[in-house]
A and B are shown apart, each in its own frame.
Chain A
Amino acid sequence: MKTDIILAGVGGQGILSIASIIGDAAINENLFLKQAETHGMSQRGGAVQSHLRISDSEIAADLIPMGKADLILSVEPMEALRYLPFLSPEGYVVTNTTPFINIPNYPDVEAVLAEIKKQPRFVAIDADKIAAEIGNKRASNVVMLGAATPFLNIEPEKIEAGIAHIFSRKGEAVVEMNRKAFKAGLDFAMANK
């Protein structure tokens, strides 16, 4: 078993926190893991990516080769498209549909979504809207994590346990809200994949 994931987004959107929840679950399952992150200048509102590789045998490279990723998990729609050359012909694109517009020449949002819908396998989810309905817009990354979970080869319960662990310091109400966000993302992906 081997899962290669490209996480994509914009600096400051928190893709590394998604990566760390998946990473913790993988390590708890005694799986091998490598996760390359973007630090430094790009974190100031630039395009950022993280290569997350999970396997039951030892992993060689920190970077995923082109055309080999099983999943692109993006918290922003245009950023999902940027890494298509990495996606395997059998891979999935799971993306948030809410754009993050911090540049003057951001393309037409409908055109971006149309490109996503051209992909053979995709889940396009309005994570910001779902998170707002649950009661906290900041939970949109956890919604995205839920939406990606069917493609991770890790049981959803293990990821959910990781979420509970990470938010446990912030009290039961926060844990519950994030559980709900996770569940909403997971349900959406199961119904729409």
Chain B
Amino acid sequence: MQKNLFLGVEAIGQGAIDGGISGVYAYPGTPSTEITEFIQENELAIEKGIRSKWSANEKTAYEAALGMSYAGKRTMVCMKHVGLNVAADAFINSAITGINGGLIITVADDPSMHSSQNEQDSRFYGKFAMIPILEPSNQQEAYDMVREGFELSEKLEVPVMVRITTRLAHSRAGVIRSEVLAENDMVLPTDPSQFVLLPAIARRRYKGLLEKQELFEKTAKKSKYNEYIKGEDKSFGIIACGIAYNYLKENYPKDDCSYTILKLSQYPVPQKFLDKMAKRCEEVLVLEEGYPVVEEHVKAAFKKDVQVSGRLSGALPRDGELNADLVAKALGKETQLGADVPELVVNRPPALCQGCGHQDMYKALNEALDKYTKGRVFSDIGCYTLGALPPYKSIYSCVDMGASVTMAKGAADAGLIPAVAVIGDSTFTHSGITGLLDAVNDEANIVVVISDNESVSMTGGQDSSALGKIESICAGVGVDPNHIRVLTPLKKYHELMVQTFEEEIAYGGVSVIVFRRECIQAAAKRLRKEKKMKDNPNK
């Protein structure tokens, strides 16, 4: 059979197309972005007219997916782990409304924080919402779980979470596809109150969700993705969750592990497996990517005295992603190490691209604020967060999407004048607008910089929801149009930019300065595409 060389994220995108989705909803975020990009560019998906444009944020994405499910169609919503914080209200409640058409939420966690502010574990959210979680150990499972996951969601009548981590998301392997399943017809829920979470209805539906837990566990027990492998050696057992199973296998290349192994890829954790394990093993090691979710669970769930080790016990580090070496150490196996890194090797942190507009904006901002004490600039999530590093060292916060505007407002409320917010165009429409409305209503004395490069750049240049709308949005929430200034961040306008900063700092209300220049990566991509069109006009 033909193998497709797919990244984990691509396998998930293909799985969703082949699983019969009618739409995918998402906001870009590493390591989840390419799932949606794959669907956007996939020929079959385009031919079928699968809806795939970017949403303004994860909450709007989740709610739209829930609406598509309400109308009976299959749908997937994708985000990075912290995106689920944004979508959490809709997510938790959707477990209580249940679904109509199959709904999968794919969340990509980022242990070791390769491109994130924290390494929260989405399995906690899945447990919190009390829905089934699928955690693939490899790319083939990722494809199969998503393709079959819509049916699982429809059978169990709840959303199903697919949880992956960076390593699976961004690693390629051969994947074999199965037949393409048909899309659902549009059909409304049979119970018209299903999605009406008024207290009286919500109470009833919540009881229903609680009652279903046994079924979820039974389904996980029977799942082909979970496997209980009885070992000869009774002293020790291993629970390997998701991708951690591969690190375990890596340590037994001849497949000669003599311990009992529970390969766990579908949750909730089936108690029957734990009972069997407790009977057989004196000690159990839990291997899991992320937080000690399963380790905590089994400590309480083992009915017999079994010693449990893992990230909490110190057998594995409490933070960071796993690898085969860490697992080897936890198993008491010897590890190898190559030569040391020579001392002269220095770090090479990421930096703003040469010629990027954010650079010109920061140069002007630094000059305008030079006469004040430091610590007055609040920023946000995007390429411009790199303004925290030398040579700019311009910003003093990066917390969550949109927090620049509201934190600047709060600091100004406390008396920090001037206070400046630096936010990107897409982050502004993601979660900055409501904060700006608060600032206007409170007549806060802040300067909001919208560094507009007309794309979602850090994640690879996706379309920005803000394109062409920023000034009208700012005026719409009530910013005085005289204090909505638009500039082009170029060296030749440096003096004008500094002067504009000074003028708006002097103004006592809410100012917005938009620095607009196309992302140079996007510009290069566009020029290459235009050249290609010119060279091959028929293609």
Q: Do A and B bind each other?
A: yes
Chain A residues engaging chain B, CB cutoff 8 angstroms: 10-11, 23-24, 27, 32-47, 51, 59-63, 65-69, 78-79, 81-82, 84-89, 91, 102-108, 111-112, 115, 119
- Is B324 part of the contact surface with A, judged by Cβ < 8 Å? yes
A82 nearest in chain B by CB position: B345
The CA of A63 and the CA of B174, in the complex, are separated in Å by 16
Q: How far is the CB of B429 from chain A (nearest CB, A)?
A: 21
Q: Nearest 6 CB-CB pairs, A to B?
A: A67-B336, A40-B115, A40-B30, A46-B350, A60-B249, A62-B171
Partner of A107, one of B115, B253, B344, B351: B344
List, in ascending order, chain A residues with CB within 8 A of B31's CB: 39-40
Partner of A66, one of B30, B170, B174, B338: B338
Task: Render B320-358 as a binary contact track against A, CB cut-off 8 A, 1 for contact.
Answer: 000111001000000111111110111111111100000
* Sample of 20 further A-B pairs with CB below 8 A, known A46-B348, A62-B171, A87-B339: A27-B3, A37-B172, A39-B31, A39-B33, A39-B460, A40-B459, A45-B351, A46-B350, A60-B250, A61-B250, A61-B323, A63-B323, A65-B323, A81-B342, A81-B344, A88-B336, A102-B348, A103-B347, A103-B351, A104-B390
User: Is the beta-carbon distance between B344 and A115 smaller than 8 angstroms?
Assistant: yes
List, in ascending order, chain B residues with CB within 8 A of A78's CB: 344-346, 348
A-B contact pairs, 11 of them (CB 8 A): A11-B350, A24-B5, A36-B167, A36-B170, A40-B114, A40-B115, A44-B350, A81-B341, A82-B341, A87-B339, A88-B338
The CA of A178 and the CA of B380, in the complex, are separated in Å by 43
Q: How far is the CB of B51 from chain A (nearest CB, A)?
A: 25
List, in ascending order, chain B residues with CB within 8 A of A43's CB: 350, 460
User: Is the beta-carbon distance between A103 and B346 smaller than 8 angstroms?
Assistant: yes
Q: How far is the CB of A97 from chain B (nearest CB, A)?
A: 15
User: Is the beta-carbon distance between B345 and A36 smaller than 8 angstroms?
Assistant: no
User: Is the beta-carbon distance between B338 and A102 smaller than 8 angstroms?
Assistant: no
Partner of A65, one of B171, B249, B328: B328
- Is B7 part of the contact surface with A, judged by Cβ < 8 Å? yes
Chain B residues engaging chain A, CB cutoff 8 angstroms: 3, 5, 7, 30-31, 33-34, 114-115, 167-174, 243, 246-247, 249-250, 253, 323-325, 328, 335-342, 344-353, 383, 386, 390, 458-460
Question: Which applies to chain B's interface (DSSP): helix, strand, loop or mixed?
Answer: loop
List, in ascending order, chain A residues with CB within 8 A of B341's CB: 81-82, 84-85
User: Is the beta-carbon distance between B171 and A34 smaller than 8 angstroms?
Assistant: yes
User: Is the beta-carbon distance between A65 and B114 smaller than 8 angstroms?
Assistant: no
Partner of B335, one of A10, A23, A65: A65
B245 nearest in chain A by CB position: A60
Instruction: From known contacts A27-B5, A88-B338, infer whether A103 and B383 are also in contact, taking CB-CB under 8 Å.
Output: no
List, in ascending order, chain B residues with CB within 8 A of A40's CB: 30-31, 114-115, 458-459
User: Is the beta-carbon distance between A41 and B171 smaller than 8 angstroms?
Assistant: no
Q: How far is the CB of A102 from chain B (nearest CB, A)?
A: 7
